[in-house]
Amino acid sequence: MKTTLDHLAIVAPDLDTGCAFVTNALGVELQPGGVHPRMGTHNRLLRLGPETYLEVIAVDPSANRPDRPRWFGMDQLAADTPQCLATWVARTDDIHAMDEACRAIIGEPEPMTRGTLSWQITIPADGHLPLNGSAPTLIQWEQAQHPASAMLDQGCSLVALDVFDPDPEKVQALLSAINFSGPVRLHGLGAHSKPYLVAHIQTPTGLKTLPIVHG
């Protein structure tokens, strides 16, 4: 089993709000994505490389409510929640090779579709974010060509993802268990601090951070 960084996820109360957050930080517009019928969600996308991208995902107001909790902790998202990077997704070549300890954290693989795309993705039974977003969701695409390769190239690329967590050793143990390799850096926080993510993205106008870091 091998894994690497696949994409970043911003969970938004609606697509326009989430996309405005990204455009303000990076200076680029996102392109249309599609709908996820099983989850009642939809997204917009930004290519960050031939096999990497960023998605803004929100509840689709025109969709029926799913018969299970939505992914990425979306059912717990309050309308006034500040915009941020919610979590990240790691691509694997064998999603069923996870051991029981990994499954207990990131959930079981489930089939998913969007338009002509299909994949397997891990989702905890209650839909929560694994380790509050510090641990990745796992994905295995069923297409030979990565979907990012078909997205509009706007000159953006992911340089690094910083993961700040009160227990970075626990995150590292999980990444080691799934044989992860990629531009992810772990940092410790105080025992009662809330985990958060910062992405460093090269854009046509220079290196930017998402979210914007001041000071």
For the chain, the structural domain boundaries read 3-210
What pTM does this model have? 0.94
**Amino acid identity of 189?**
L
- Alpha-carbon Rg for the chain, nearest whole angstrom, is 16
Arithmetic mean of pLDDT, 103-130: 93
Is residue 69 classed as helix, strand or coil in its secondary structure? coil
Q: Is residue 72's pLDDT more than 60?
A: yes
Share of the chain above pLDDT 90, in %: 87
pLDDT at residue 213, rounded to an integer = 56
Residue 214 has pLDDT above 80, yes or no: no
Q: CA 82, 161, 190: angle at the middle one, nearest 5?
A: 65
Strand partners, 141: 119
| CATH 3.40.1380.20 holds for 3-210 | no
Task: Give the model confidence (pLDDT) of 155-202 as tens digits.
Answer: 999 999 999 999 999 999 999 999 999 999 999 999 999 999 999 999
Percent of the chain scored above 70 by pLDDT? 98
Is residue 113 very low, low, confident or very high in pLDDT (cuts 50, 70, 90)?
confident
The enclosing H or E element of 15 equals helix 15-26
pLDDT attached to residue 76: 86
Long-range contacts of 105-113 (CB under 8 A, 24+ apart): 105/130, 105/131, 105/135, 105/174, 106/130, 106/135, 106/136, 106/137, 106/138, 106/174, 107/137, 109/138, 109/140, 112/36, 112/38, 112/39, 113/36, 113/37, 113/38
Query: Taking 50 as the threshold, does the pLDDT of residue 21 lie above it?
Result: yes
What the block records as the tokens of 13 is: 């109360």
Q: How far apart are CA 207 and CA 214, in angstroms?
A: 14
